[in-house]
Amino acid sequence: MLNVVLYEPEIPGNTGNIMRTCVATDTKLHLIKPLGFSLDEKYIKRSGVNYIDKCNYTVYENLDEFFVKNKGTYYFLTRYGHKPHSTFDYSDTSENIYFIFGKESTGIPKEILKPYIDKCLRIPMTDKVRALNLSNSVAIVVYEALRQQEYSNLLKDEPHKSKTFIED
Protein backbone atom coordinates (compact mmCIF):
# COMPACT_ATOMS: atom_id res chain seq x y z
CA MET A 1 0.00 0.00 0.00
CA LEU A 2 1.19 3.50 -0.83
CA ASN A 3 1.13 6.17 1.87
CA VAL A 4 1.83 9.90 1.83
CA VAL A 5 3.04 11.46 5.06
CA LEU A 6 2.96 15.24 5.52
CA TYR A 7 5.22 16.38 8.33
CA GLU A 8 3.77 19.57 9.82
CA PRO A 9 2.08 20.89 6.65
CA GLU A 10 1.50 24.64 6.65
CA ILE A 11 -0.60 25.52 3.60
CA PRO A 12 -4.21 24.31 3.48
CA GLY A 13 -4.45 24.51 -0.31
CA ASN A 14 -1.53 22.11 -0.71
CA THR A 15 -3.03 19.62 1.72
CA GLY A 16 -6.41 19.85 -0.03
CA ASN A 17 -4.77 19.11 -3.39
CA ILE A 18 -2.85 16.23 -1.84
CA MET A 19 -6.07 14.82 -0.36
CA ARG A 20 -7.59 14.85 -3.83
CA THR A 21 -4.51 13.07 -5.26
CA CYS A 22 -4.73 10.48 -2.48
CA VAL A 23 -8.39 9.79 -3.27
CA ALA A 24 -7.61 9.49 -7.00
CA THR A 25 -4.76 7.06 -6.36
CA ASP A 26 -6.16 5.08 -3.41
CA THR A 27 -3.23 6.28 -1.29
CA LYS A 28 -3.52 6.74 2.47
CA LEU A 29 -2.61 10.15 3.88
CA HIS A 30 -0.91 10.67 7.24
CA LEU A 31 -0.79 14.17 8.76
CA ILE A 32 1.75 14.96 11.48
CA LYS A 33 0.90 17.83 13.84
CA PRO A 34 1.17 20.66 14.29
CA LEU A 35 -0.87 21.55 11.21
CA GLY A 36 -0.72 25.14 10.01
CA PHE A 37 -4.51 25.17 9.50
CA SER A 38 -7.75 23.51 10.53
CA LEU A 39 -8.96 20.57 8.47
CA ASP A 40 -12.37 22.19 8.15
CA GLU A 41 -11.06 25.41 6.62
CA LYS A 42 -12.63 26.52 3.37
CA TYR A 43 -9.22 26.41 1.62
CA ILE A 44 -8.91 22.68 2.21
CA LYS A 45 -12.42 22.13 0.91
CA ARG A 46 -11.90 24.35 -2.14
CA SER A 47 -8.70 22.65 -3.30
CA GLY A 48 -9.92 19.16 -2.40
CA VAL A 49 -13.22 19.86 -4.17
CA ASN A 50 -15.84 17.25 -3.23
CA TYR A 51 -13.36 14.47 -2.53
CA ILE A 52 -12.10 15.17 0.99
CA ASP A 53 -14.78 13.04 2.63
CA LYS A 54 -13.50 10.11 0.54
CA CYS A 55 -9.88 10.61 1.67
CA ASN A 56 -8.44 7.91 3.93
CA TYR A 57 -6.32 9.90 6.38
CA THR A 58 -5.06 9.84 9.95
CA VAL A 59 -3.76 12.71 12.07
CA TYR A 60 -0.90 12.12 14.55
CA GLU A 61 0.24 14.24 17.48
CA ASN A 62 3.88 13.90 16.45
CA LEU A 63 6.31 11.93 14.29
CA ASP A 64 7.07 9.45 17.08
CA GLU A 65 3.41 8.43 17.23
CA PHE A 66 3.39 7.96 13.46
CA PHE A 67 6.48 5.69 13.54
CA VAL A 68 5.05 3.57 16.38
CA LYS A 69 1.78 3.00 14.53
CA ASN A 70 3.12 2.48 10.97
CA LYS A 71 5.65 -0.08 9.83
CA GLY A 72 7.08 -0.41 6.35
CA THR A 73 9.64 1.26 4.12
CA TYR A 74 10.10 4.99 4.67
CA TYR A 75 11.31 7.32 1.90
CA PHE A 76 12.05 10.94 2.69
CA LEU A 77 11.63 13.60 0.01
CA THR A 78 14.20 16.31 0.46
CA ARG A 79 16.17 18.66 -1.71
CA TYR A 80 19.21 17.32 0.15
CA GLY A 81 18.69 13.78 -1.15
CA HIS A 82 21.28 12.48 -3.60
CA LYS A 83 19.18 9.88 -5.44
CA PRO A 84 16.37 10.66 -7.89
CA HIS A 85 12.94 9.47 -6.78
CA SER A 86 12.72 7.26 -9.88
CA THR A 87 15.78 5.15 -8.96
CA PHE A 88 14.04 3.31 -6.13
CA ASP A 89 12.00 0.12 -6.58
CA TYR A 90 8.39 0.56 -5.47
CA SER A 91 6.99 -2.35 -7.46
CA ASP A 92 6.10 -4.65 -4.54
CA THR A 93 2.37 -4.05 -4.04
CA SER A 94 2.37 -6.00 -0.75
CA GLU A 95 4.90 -3.62 0.83
CA ASN A 96 3.79 -0.66 2.95
CA ILE A 97 5.60 2.28 1.37
CA TYR A 98 5.63 5.67 3.08
CA PHE A 99 6.66 8.83 1.23
CA ILE A 100 7.43 11.45 3.87
CA PHE A 101 7.32 15.12 2.88
CA GLY A 102 8.34 18.06 5.06
CA LYS A 103 6.63 21.34 5.75
CA GLU A 104 6.60 23.88 2.96
CA SER A 105 8.85 26.45 4.63
CA THR A 106 11.69 24.30 5.97
CA GLY A 107 11.21 20.69 4.88
CA ILE A 108 12.15 17.80 7.17
CA PRO A 109 14.67 18.56 9.93
CA LYS A 110 18.19 17.24 9.40
CA GLU A 111 18.02 15.25 12.64
CA ILE A 112 15.13 13.20 11.23
CA LEU A 113 16.76 12.69 7.82
CA LYS A 114 20.24 11.71 8.98
CA PRO A 115 19.46 8.10 10.10
CA TYR A 116 17.64 7.51 6.79
CA ILE A 117 20.22 9.04 4.42
CA ASP A 118 20.02 6.01 2.09
CA LYS A 119 16.25 6.55 1.77
CA CYS A 120 16.43 10.30 1.11
CA LEU A 121 15.40 11.13 -2.41
CA ARG A 122 14.89 14.19 -4.51
CA ILE A 123 13.03 15.12 -7.64
CA PRO A 124 15.65 16.31 -10.15
CA MET A 125 15.35 19.96 -11.22
CA THR A 126 17.44 22.92 -12.30
CA ASP A 127 19.30 25.22 -9.94
CA LYS A 128 16.82 28.01 -10.72
CA VAL A 129 14.33 26.91 -8.03
CA ARG A 130 14.82 25.63 -4.51
CA ALA A 131 11.93 23.16 -4.61
CA LEU A 132 8.71 22.29 -6.38
CA ASN A 133 5.30 22.91 -4.85
CA LEU A 134 4.49 20.28 -2.21
CA SER A 135 1.31 19.01 -3.87
CA ASN A 136 3.09 18.72 -7.24
CA SER A 137 5.93 16.80 -5.60
CA VAL A 138 3.51 14.37 -3.96
CA ALA A 139 1.78 13.71 -7.30
CA ILE A 140 5.09 13.14 -9.12
CA VAL A 141 6.36 10.62 -6.56
CA VAL A 142 3.05 8.77 -6.07
CA TYR A 143 2.56 8.37 -9.81
CA GLU A 144 6.11 7.07 -10.25
CA ALA A 145 5.37 4.39 -7.66
CA LEU A 146 2.05 3.60 -9.32
CA ARG A 147 3.73 3.39 -12.72
CA GLN A 148 6.12 0.81 -11.33
CA GLN A 149 3.11 -1.07 -9.92
CA GLU A 150 1.42 -0.89 -13.33
CA TYR A 151 -1.31 1.32 -11.83
CA SER A 152 -2.61 -1.59 -9.78
CA ASN A 153 -6.32 -1.23 -9.00
CA LEU A 154 -6.67 2.07 -10.85
CA LEU A 155 -9.00 2.62 -13.78
CA LYS A 156 -7.37 3.03 -17.15
CA ASP A 157 -10.57 4.09 -18.89
CA GLU A 158 -12.78 7.06 -18.01
CA PRO A 159 -15.72 5.67 -15.98
CA HIS A 160 -18.28 8.47 -16.42
CA LYS A 161 -18.62 8.51 -20.19
CA SER A 162 -18.46 5.76 -22.78
CA LYS A 163 -15.15 4.06 -23.42
CA THR A 164 -15.49 5.20 -27.02
CA PHE A 165 -16.43 8.81 -26.17
CA ILE A 166 -13.66 10.30 -28.34
CA GLU A 167 -14.54 8.12 -31.33
CA ASP A 168 -18.31 8.77 -31.11
Q: What is the CATH number of the domain that holds 70?
A: 3.40.1280.10
Confirm whether 19 is domain-assigned. Answer: yes
Assess whether pLDDT exceeds 60 at residue 48. no
Question: What are the C-alpha distances in Å from 134 to residues 61, 68, 162?
Answer: 21, 25, 34
Confirm whether 105 is domain-assigned. Answer: yes
Confirm whether 29 is domain-assigned. Answer: yes
Q: How many domains does the chain have?
A: 1
pTM: 0.93
Confirm whether 27 is domain-assigned. Answer: yes
Confirm whether 116 is domain-assigned. Answer: yes
Assess whether pLDDT exceeds 60 at residue 13. yes
Select the more confidently predicted residue: 19 or 44. Answer: 19
Determine the 3-state secondary structure of 64 from DSSP.
helix
Confirm whether 71 is domain-assigned. Answer: yes
Domain encompassing residue 86: 2-148
Q: What is the pLDDT of residues 78-91, one digit of tens each?
A: 999 999 999 999 99
